[in-house]
Amino acid sequence: MSPSNAQTARRLPDEEFELKETALHGHRIAYRSAGSGPAIVLVHGITSTSATWERVMPYLATRFTVIAPDLLGHGESAKPRGDYSLGAYASGVRDLMVSLGHERATFVGHSLGGGVVMQLAYQFPERCERLVLVDSGGLGREVNFLLRAATLPLSEVVLPVLASARLLDAGRGVGRLFGRLGLHVGTDMAELAKGHASLADAESRAAFVHTLRTIVDPGGQRVNASDRLYLAQNVPFMIVWGERDPIIPVQHGRAAHELVPTSRLEVFENAGHFPHVDDPQRFLDVLLDFIDSTAPATVDPEAWRDMVKSGR
């Protein structure tokens, strides 16, 4: 990326974002963090890692403390037999940021990560200054057939075949090819190939299946947070979506925007499921403008209680 906008022209060196490790509740958690200032937490999607944010992290870190974890069961973090629910992930992200000395943050979640940060904002509203969903899960039933198929009973048998060395090498090759061509549609192919390659070992496959089955079944997404989106009306809330997303349809973002009239919707016309990778400059521009034009949320416990009681 060659930023044209002066506000994003500065960046920290890539080496500032090398993986770090900590232990939470006896499990290894890998994360990337750099910069100073108000905290911004970036949460990746399923089979992805903190590296998905590599095109935007160095620029954000010139103004913010950026924290990007590898969620449990992903990347270099531990992959135990355990709880891979959205609630557990939300608690884990909260625990990581608090362990690093941050009480509050702007939360940005992509795909599965969108579901995680919505759950975090619901469980711990006092921690959430702003909420940004990027092609988020948890906003409707529809989801790509491949994810639905991976929840079927025989998926544990099929995945080792799909993750064989020969197919993984082919997947990496396809991803590199599309990346070299610079095709927008190729971004989805390249990122999905990386995710496919991450399932090479049994622990990763088990974590993937356990995570997926908490949020997806053969009929589609099981979790739908739309009935609680009214709680976001007092939090600065932005929805970013790639119009060509083949994984989760852009209609989910538009419907969520209608449910929260105070929200901001940004649709990237030429992007797919990874708009922060397809068009990192525009992503930075809209994210920084959103942050600059909004004040951090503060939670009034009585007002929160009244909203929950009234359901609106």
Catalytic site residues? 111, 245, 273
Q: How far is CA 191 from CA 48, 156, 201, 212, 296, in A?
A: 8, 22, 18, 17, 32
Cβ atoms of 100 and 67 closer than 8 Å: yes
Cβ atoms of 193 and 171 closer than 8 Å: yes
Burial of 46 (0-12, 13-18, 19+ CB in 10 A): buried
Calpha distance 67→52 (Å, rounded): 13
Calpha distance 45→256 (Å, rounded): 19
Cβ atoms of 235 and 131 closer than 8 Å: yes
If you ran DSSP here, which 8-state letter would residue 218 be given? T
Alpha helix locations (H) across 9-111? 57-60, 86-99
- Whether the CA torsion 121, 73, 112, 226 is positive or negative: it is negative
> Can you give the length of the chain in residues?
312
Collapsing DSSP to helix, strand or coil, 266 comes out as: strand
Alpha helix locations (H) across the chain? 57-60, 86-99, 112-123, 145-149, 155-162, 165-181, 184-197, 202-215, 251-259, 275-278, 280-292, 301-310
